[in-house]
Amino acid sequence: MALDLNQFQLNSVSVTLISLSVMFTAGFILTRLTKILSLPNVTCYIIAGIIVGPYFLNIITQELADKMSFIGDIVLS
């Protein structure tokens, strides 16, 4: 059930932006759930990453995650 964004003839910048928007949207939606359950937001970000990542729904494939390693560098800097 992988979402193959390459079938739409998109360039790498478009695929990266769409993937980022999917990640941000999933995080935003799950923060609403953590407010109800009185959990920290970091918990929902981890759960959102697992859900959209390559090990559950595979919306963000492993190749795309490897190409987007610059995000970790930006966040940690």
Domain assignment of residue 2, yes or no: no
Reported as type and span, the H/E element at residue 63 is: helix 62-67
How do residues 15-70 score in pLDDT, each as one tens digit? Answer: 778 888 888 898 888 888 888 888 888 888 888 888 888 888 888 888 888 877 77
Residue 5 domain-assigned?
A: no
Q: How many domains does the chain have?
A: 1
User: In angstroms, rounded to a whole number, what is the distance separating the alpha carbons of residues 58 and 21?
Assistant: 15
pLDDT for the residue numbered 9: 61
Question: Which bin fits 60, alpha (ψ -120 to 50), beta or left (φ > 0)?
Answer: beta
Domain of residue 32: give its range.
Answer: 12-76
Cα distance between residue 48 and residue 26, in whole Å: 6
